[in-house]
């Protein structure tokens, strides 16, 4: 009986996990990495949807370390969530200049390109993630899902 239930429990767990990540912030939650306190507070603000506060805090962190790719990536995320794609792109590009293999920045800039209606550029970043990810890769999977959803919506508007 228990063996018959296990697949269902696993499926339910996946659905619950996917639903719980809708507002999640991917990336650099490595507890072994020392982080600027403003950066840590900004991530909490982002999780709470407080993007203006997060931008202020991330700018404080960036003032102390202007070459931190994670901070630029999170600034891009916060600006994208506020609908300011120009600033989002600027920070994502800087994150990728500083760390060309930054998986989170590839995912998020790809999602920003989808918001701008640029499927081809989003797919370029998906291709980069395909090169970077040899095994399970949440960033690649999330961008692939966003691209699939974009294509579905585009197909239904024709």
> First and final CA of the chain: distance in angstroms?
48
> What is the tens place of the pLDDT at every residue in 66-90?
999 999 999 999 999 999 999 999 9
pLDDT band at 21 (very low <50, low <70, confident <90, very high): very low
Residue 157 pLDDT: 64
Cβ-based neighbour number of residue 143 at 10 Å: 27
The pLDDT of residue 45: 97
Q: Tell me, what's the pLDDT at 17?
A: 35
The CATH number of the domain covering residues in 34-156: 1.25.40.10
152 has pLDDT over 50: yes
CB contact set of 98 (below 8 Å; sequence gap of 6+): 67, 68, 69, 72
Q: How many DSSP H helices and E strands does the chain contain?
A: 8, 0
Q: Is the pLDDT of residue 33 over 80?
A: no
The C-alpha atoms of residue 92 and residue 134 are separated, in whole angstroms, by 23
**What CA–CA distance (Å, rounded) separates 109 from 5?**
40
Percent of the chain at pLDDT exceeding 70: 77
Q: Return the closest-CA partner of residue 42 out of 33, 30, 50, 34.
A: 50
128 or 19: which leads in pLDDT: 128
Distance CA 110, CA 125 (A): 6
pLDDT of residue 158: 58
The predicted structure's pLDDT at residue 155: 82
Measured distance CA(56)–CA(120) in Å, rounded: 32
Asked if residue 19 has pLDDT above 80, the reply is no
């Amino acid at each position: 009986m228990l063996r018959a239930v296990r697949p269902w429990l696993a499926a339910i767990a996946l659905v619950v996990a996917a639903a719980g990540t809708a507002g999640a912030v991917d990336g650099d939650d490595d507890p072994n990495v020392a982080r600027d306190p403003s950066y840590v507070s900004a991530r909490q603000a982002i999780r709470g949807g407080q993007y203006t506060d997060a931008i202020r805090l991330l700018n404080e962190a960036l003032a102390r370390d202007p070459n931190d790719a994670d901070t630029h990536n999170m600034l891009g995320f916060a600006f994208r969530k506020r609908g300011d794609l120009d600033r989002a792109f600027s920070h994502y590009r800087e994150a990728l200049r500083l760390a060309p293999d930054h998986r989170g920045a590839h995912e998020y800039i790809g999602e920003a390109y989808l918001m701008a209606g640029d499927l081809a550029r989003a797919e370029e970043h998906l291709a980069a993630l395909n090169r970077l990810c040899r095994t399970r890769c949440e960033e690649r999977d999330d961008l692939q899902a966003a691209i699939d959803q974009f294509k579905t919506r585009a197909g239904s508007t024709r």
